[in-house]
Each structure stands twice: as C-alpha cells, then as structure tokens.
C-alpha cells in the first residue's frame, strides 16, 4: 500500500473572538494558508489532486464549499477541485485523514488538507416562516452550539446538552475537582507562554495582515493566569460547578493547512516529508459525554496498528475543556509529560474547523524538537464523537 506523508504545514496565529483576525474573512484566511502550504512544500500546483478543508459553521462567508473558494483565492489552477468536510471540532483532523486515505488508496498523489473557522464572523441566522408571508422563525447565533434543534432530540434532555454542560457531566463521572481543572488550565497557559517566548511556534505561523496591522502571535495565552485568578471565576453550568470560562477553550478564529503526498510525489518534487500518517479512526460516545470521544477513537486505532500508549512520544489532545482533557489522559493512561507540551486549546484557542490541522502542525514541530518517533493527535467532537490519528516521524 502507498504511504501518505505530511510535508510542510502552516497555520495562522489564533485570534480571540472579536479580536485580531475578526476583520479577515474565513475564505481569505483559508486561501492564505493553502497558498503558503503549497509554496513551502515545493510541489507544482498543477500536480495537486484535491484541496480538502474542515469547516464547522459554514453559515456565512465560509458557505458554498470554502475549500473550493480557498483554492481559487490561493491562486491554484482552476482544475484543482475542493472539498469541505464537517466533523465539528475534528473537521481539520478528518480532512487530513481523508487526504491520507486518498493517497494510500492510489486515488491521489498530492492533497492539500487543513481547516478554517471564523467564529467572530459567524452570522446570526433566521429560520424561514413555515407559511407564505408568515412571521420570521427562530433566530440563532451560528458561532457555537445547537440551532434549529430537532424536536425529537429536545425530548432527550442530555442529547442537547451545551458544550459546558457536557464538560460538567464528565467532571461528575470522573470525579474531577475544580482545583484539578484550574491547575490544568494554568499549566496550559504556562506551557503556551513558554513556547511563544522560546519561538517554538515561529516556523509554523504565517503572519496575517489585518486592518489593525500585522498579526503574528496567538492572542490566547495570558501571562496573568494563576490558580488564585481562576478560583475567582464563576461556574458557567451550576453553582459550585467545575467548568468556568478559565478552564475551557474559547471562541476563536484561524486557519491551517498541510500537504499530504505519496512517496512518488515526494520523490518527483524533491519534497521533504516530516512524518507518515500511520492510521486514523473515529468513534462515537453518548452526546452528553462528548469529551470522552478521544478514548475509544484512540483505543481503536492503537489496536488496529498494534501500538500501545507507552510508545507515544508526543500527544496533542485538544483541550476543549480541562475536565475532558484530564478524563481522557486518565482513561487512556497517557504519560502527562508527552501531552500538549506547548500548551493546548485552553491557552492557544480553538478555532473549530482549523483545530485538528493546527494540532497536527504543532505536533510535527514537537516531534522534531523532542526526538519523538511516534505521535498521536486526537480530538473530542460535539454530539458525541472522537477522532484520532497516529503519526510516525521520518
């Protein structure tokens, strides 16, 4: 079977909600990273078989197949097709896995994969009236969460839990305390700030020109984050609860992309592969504990490949919430010294459609710096799923 290799990789800095990237359209963000990923790889644009991008909201400027829009905006040949995929938070990771499967099956030699999200620019949407000339229907913010919910789901209370409610449910099941969650969040910020100070993100970040000037570093990491500061925050689910804004990921903007290529294409264009995609898997869990999704997904792919968690030198586990990240680390028996050493989404941000590709690009840098031969990138997914991908450095 043909191997699938990851070449290059780039991301924008991650912007806060209504922050530095809020003036930039998501299709433009996607176009920037697609063009840069192609340029960094050295591949001939005419040889690209597909552009696959993850995107979650797709209700505004990212509608109508943002991958195709990004391909055109990047200046790729009009002959290069585009496909947008949506597995909510794991969309960017699923895009890379889908690209790798195309390569391995022989259906493609070069695919640009990644993801994009602008939660700042996600629009409000309104349902059409059910009757002609009727009053407007339900109004919903498309930035995050359920909208136009099926009445059958409303009858199942836990199915339609908000994301914070799912994180609170995981904390209850796993016995995770507020102190545990806050300590995890402080560590995420500390690691991210150290990575920024050491310049560890410099090679993976593409600065973005905005109306306010050049945006070059992630907006999320906060130097003042401390246990005392987080302890003063109100629980967002219930009085005395565990989940707060401080130990959760935020609403963000960003884009990321990487070239996935066959061995034949690597040789033809003298590209420098960074890792091979070993395998990937997705799995479902109950919607109310969606944060546990990485556990069965990781177990599935490890079993299929014949690896164990002890062989993983680098792990990127998206931190949707501290409670879910801690629960996954504990259930999988991960070595905490291998997980999110440069910070995670609690500090760096979670631009939904981009995040899976973002953690992949970040993990490649970690594997190279830390001498890790094997890596795991894994995400929890709203409505109860998880996705995991195994990489091997080359």
Does the annotation count 380 as an active-site position?
yes
Give which of 80, 70, 59, 61 is closest to 115, Cα–Cα: 70
Residue 136: how many CA atoms within 13 Å on its side-chain side?
5
| 350 given a catalytic annotation | yes
The catalytically annotated residue of 55, 89, 189, 328 is 89
Write the CA distances from 318 to 197, 248, 265, 327, 342, integer angstroms: 21, 11, 31, 12, 12
Coil, helix or strand at residue 29 = helix
Give the up-direction half-sphere exposure of residue 138: CA atoms within 13 A in the CB hemisphere.
8
Give, in order, the Cα–Cα distances in Å from 26 to each of 53, 60, 91, 239, 266: 12, 9, 15, 37, 30
Is residue 66 helix, strand or coil? helix
> Taking the mean position of all CA atoms in its chain, how far away is CA 57?
13
Q: Which of 55, 189, 328, 380 is catalytic?
A: 380
Cα distances from 8 to residues 11, 208, 369, in angstroms, run 11, 18, 15
Taking the CA of residue 345 as centre, how many other CA atoms within 13 Å lie in the half-sphere pointing to its CB?
33
Give me the helices (H) in 306-351, please.
Answer: 322-332, 345-348
* 189 catalytically annotated: no
Catalytic residue among 55, 189, 328, 350: 350
Residue 372 sits at φ, ψ, to 5 deg, of -85, 130
Residue burial 362-387, b: 16+ Cβ < 10 Å; e: rest: bbbbbbeeeebebbbbbbbbbbbbbb
35's CB contacts (< 8 A; 6+ apart) are 73, 74, 75, 76
- Element containing residue 5 per DSSP (H, E): strand 4-11
Residues recognised as catalytic:
89, 350, 380
């Amino acid at each position: 079977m043909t191997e699938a290799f990851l070449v290059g990789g780039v991301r924008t800095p991650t912007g806060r909600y209504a922050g530095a990237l809020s003036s930039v359209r998501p299709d433009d963000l996607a176009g920037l990273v697609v063009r840069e990923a192609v340029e960094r790889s050295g591949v001939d644009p005419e040889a690209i078989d597909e552009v696959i991008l993850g995107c979650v909201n797709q209700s505004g400027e990212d509608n109508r197949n943002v991958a195709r829009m990004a391909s055109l905006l990047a200046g790729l040949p009009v002959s290069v097709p585009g496909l947008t995929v949506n597995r909510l938070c794991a969309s960017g990771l699923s895009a890379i896995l889908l690209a790798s499967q195309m390569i391995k099956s022989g259906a493609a030699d070069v695919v640009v994969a990644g993801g994009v999200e602008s939660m700042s620019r996600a629009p409000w949407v309104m349902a059409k009236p059910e009757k002609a000339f009727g009053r407007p229907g339900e109004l919903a913010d498309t930035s995050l969460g359920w909208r136009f919910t099926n009445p059958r789901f409303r009858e199942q209370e836990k199915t339609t839990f908000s994301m914070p409610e799912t994180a609170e449910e995981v904390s209850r099941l796993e016995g995770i305390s507020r102190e545990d969650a806050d300590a995890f969040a402080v560590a995420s910020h500390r690691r991210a700030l150290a990575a920024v100070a050491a310049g560890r993100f410099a090679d993976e970040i593409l600065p973005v020109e905005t109306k306010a000037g050049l945006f070059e570093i992630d907006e999320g990491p906060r130097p003042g984050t401390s246990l005392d500061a987080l302890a003063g925050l109100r629980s967002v689910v219930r009085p005395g609860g565990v989940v707060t804004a401080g130990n959760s990921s935020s609403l963000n903007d960003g884009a990321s992309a990487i070239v996935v290529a066959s061995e034949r294409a690597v040789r033809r264009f003298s590209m420098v592969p960074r890792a091979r995609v070993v395998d990937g898997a997705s799995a479902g869990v109950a919607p109310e504990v969606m944060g546990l999704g990485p556990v069965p997904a990781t177990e599935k792919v490890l079993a299929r490949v014949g690896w164990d968690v002890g062989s993983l030198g680098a792990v990127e586990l998206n931190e949707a919430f501290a409670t879910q990240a801690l629960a996954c680390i504990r259930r999988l028996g991960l070595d905490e010294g291998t997980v999110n050493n440069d910070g995670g989404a609690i500090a760096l941000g979670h631009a939904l459609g981009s995040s899976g590709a973002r953690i992949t690009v970040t993990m490649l840098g970690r594997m190279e710096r830390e001498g890790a031969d094997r890596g795991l990138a894994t995400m929890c997914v709203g409505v109860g799923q998880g996705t995991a991908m195994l990489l091997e450095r080359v």
